[in-house]
Structure 1
Amino acid sequence: MRTDAEHALTAFLDQLQVEARASEHTIKSYRRDIGHLIRYCESKAIDHWIDLKQSDIRAHIAGRHRQGISSKSLQRELSAIRSFYNFLLKKRLAESNPAQYVKAPKQSRKLPKTLDVDQISGLLEAGTSSVLEIRDLAMFELFYSSGLRLSELAALSLADIDLPDRSLAVRSGKGGKSRLLPIGGKAVSALENWLAQRLKMAAAAESALFVSSRGTRLGPRSIQLRLAQWCRKKGIAEHLHPHMLRHSFASHLLESSQDLRAVQELLGHSNISTTQIYTHLDFQHLAEVYDKAHPRAKKKS
């Protein structure tokens, strides 16, 4: 590209550093992302930024996508290009922003990993041999029983649990929303065992449902580590993240009930499209249900 085009890019990066006070990492990312666009311009003999059209930006992003670059990375590259062109517009070095209405290809949605019912049983029926394991079992039972998020489990306080009513209150879920959830019988029993031990561990003023050996609230990271330790000690080979219990809750409940709206409410999803991802996890099962139940699914012999 022409020297004045390179100078414009240098001025933009300097502005990011001095006026916007962007980090060195951010500036490197912008330089790299716009560097990919420069290589496209060189391949098309485009000498200056003002010569780039919307069709060029689309072609550039499409080419990057064919190279296997993820949608998330392409969105970031487009954001960098838009910011650069907004700078050029302010400096009157461009007449329009060719990246303004260009969108990155949609990311294919990854299906969440789940455990089957036998794996869940193996995880939760491994037995306990210490006070901390009694606590851990209560956490994991409650996680799977009520489909909680990790942050929601860690935030639970004693006042949020109503064992006689077999329910719990999530006071501040994602987006600040609250919801009331049922607690299954196995989780109730595990919680009763833990609450009898909690009296010996919790600090006097501590309101948290789950506390550490120091008597203070157990944080999300500690819960993750306890699950990993539980799996190692119980001989469970698969690497489990706490949210796999939430995903398994959703998948198993949807498989049994086929009630998407109810599962949406229990998970605390604002949009049902988020819940619909679980319908893809066991399509074969749903197809079998359809074949057996639908009056016109089978041809008459």
Structure 2
Amino acid sequence: MAERAFEEVAGFSTLQNKLEQSFSINGKAKSTLNNYLRCLAHLALHYKQSPETLSVENIESYLYYCQKLHKTPSESFFKHTIFGLRAAYKIMGMETKRVALPQIKRDLKLPIVLSQEEVKRLLKAPKYLKHRLIIGMLYGCGIRSYELCNLKLADIDFDRRTVFIPKKKGKIDRYVPLSKYLVRGLKKYIKTENPQGYLFNSQVTKDGVARGLTTNGIRWVIKENRSKIGSSKKITAHTLRHTFATHLLEYGVDIVSLKELLGHAHIEMTLTYLHVANLPSGSKFSPLDKLYD
């Protein structure tokens, strides 16, 4: 869709290039950029004009159209359209209040969380060690998919049993615990597979340059193995992050420590995300170490 708007709508290419440059410089997620561009492209193609040239009436009419089309303003398409417009006005140096963008109602949804037994079955499901380790890292470290994709061999400290997660997307640098089970598995994997640069490689180019794992690759690993554990739950990579956080809370880790482990910038994010408060203090550790106690 963005490619079509790039070719058919005058001025859209300039907006797209500026957004891409801004997101790259500020280390924001490419998936967010793609969502914004896709929705802005729909808007541009709807009027055959680049979004920043549209009148207030045009924008409000389109927002109303999206609201009726998607039934509720909490739908992701509407959300990305609004946030994309805000980013577009900012990047083009325009007043952010030029258009009265409606506030988005956020649905309160409880996260899907796996039981300990379900985690055990999921860890046993993959045929290959690499795939077991991918699942183990997502649950045992509570990291995001893109963080796992970007992990370098140098980020793993086997002696201190920690993983360094560099800042991105407005977050902060942090360390997360590395389970003793993952230490053992990763050492075996590294010795056998000899990954280059990244902890997990997806492929090596013809000129010998190693590429990191992709989020699509992680999605495939989860999809291939979730059906093997006999659970009706919709399991994704982020489900394992939810499960990591919930299990640590159940083991007594306090909310401030959990905020640091998850890499949240504000405590409100952790409270909203987990819907918990007044939890007892506890030391930081990987929940993977508790599975087999």
CA offsets per residue over residues 249-283 of structure 1, 9 Å max, x none?
011112222511000000000011111134437x9
Q: SS state of the match for residue 175, structure 1? A: coil
Deviation at 1:147, TM superposition (A): 0.8
* Distance (whole Å) between structure 2 residues aligned to residue 178 and residue 77 of structure 1: 29
Equivalent in 30, 42, 51 of residue 25 of structure 1? 42
| TM-score between both structures, scaled by the size of structure 1 | 0.59
In structure 2, relative to structure 1, the CA distance for the partners of 1:225 and 1:182 (3 Å cut) is: same
Aligned counterpart, 2:72: 69
Amino acid at match of 1:267: L
Gap runs ≥5 in structure 1:
1-16, 39-63, 84-97, 290-301
Aligned counterpart, 1:140: 135
Deviation at 1:243, TM superposition (A): 1.1
Aligned counterpart, 2:114: 115
* Distance (whole Å) between structure 2 residues aligned to residue 76 and residue 248 of structure 1: 30
* Distance (whole Å) between structure 2 residues aligned to residue 248 and residue 279 of structure 1: 10
Deviation at 1:223, TM superposition (A): 1.4
Aligned counterpart, 1:58: none
* Distance (whole Å) between structure 1 residues aligned to residue 203 and residue 84 of structure 2: 46
Q: How does 1:157-172 map to 2 (within 5 A)?
A: 157-172=152-167
Aligned counterpart, 2:191: 196
| TM-score between both structures, scaled by the size of structure 2 | 0.61
Gap runs ≥5 in structure 2:
1-8, 16-39, 48-57, 89-96, 205-209, 281-293
* Structure number with larger C-alpha Rg: 1
Q: SS state of the match for residue 114, structure 2? A: coil
In structure 2, relative to structure 1, the CA distance for the partners of 1:171 and 1:32 (3 Å cut) is: closer
CA offsets per residue over residues 203-224 of structure 1, 9 Å max, x none?
xxx2111123656422221111
Contact 2:144/2:241 (8 A) holds in 1: yes
* Distance (whole Å) between structure 2 residues aligned to residue 254 and residue 198 of structure 1: 35
Deviation at 1:193, TM superposition (A): 2.6
Deviation at 1:242, TM superposition (A): 0.8
Task: Say yes or no: does 1:177 pair with 2:180.
Answer: no
In structure 2, relative to structure 1, the CA distance for the partners of 1:277 and 1:121 (3 Å cut) is: farther
Contact 2:162/2:175 (8 A) holds in 1: yes
Contact 1:144/1:249 (8 A) holds in 2: yes
Q: How does 1:45-64 map to 2 (within 5 A)?
A: none
Task: Say yes or no: does 1:34 pair with 2:61.
Answer: yes
Contact 1:152/1:172 (8 A) holds in 2: no
Higher relative contact order (CA 8 A, sep 6+): 2
Aligned counterpart, 1:280: 275
Amino acid at match of 2:103: A
Deviation at 1:19, TM superposition (A): 5.9
CA offsets per residue over residues 142-166 of structure 1, 9 Å max, x none?
1111111111111111111011211
Q: SS state of the match for residue 169, structure 1? A: strand
Deviation at 1:109, TM superposition (A): 3.2
Equivalent in 201, 207, 222 of residue 211 of structure 1? 201
Which stretch shifts more, 189-198 or 18-27? 18-27
* Distance (whole Å) between structure 1 residues aligned to residue 226 and residue 170 of structure 2: 32
Q: SS state of the match for residue 201, structure 2? A: coil
Task: Say yes or no: does 1:228 pair with 2:223.
Answer: yes
Q: Which structure features the higher share of helix residues?
A: 1
Deviation at 1:76, TM superposition (A): 5.1
Identity %: 26
Equivalent in 178, 181, 184 of residue 186 of structure 1? 181
Q: CA RMSD in A?
A: 3.9
Q: SS state of the match for residue 257, structure 1? A: coil
In structure 2, relative to structure 1, the CA distance for the partners of 1:179 and 1:100 (3 Å cut) is: same
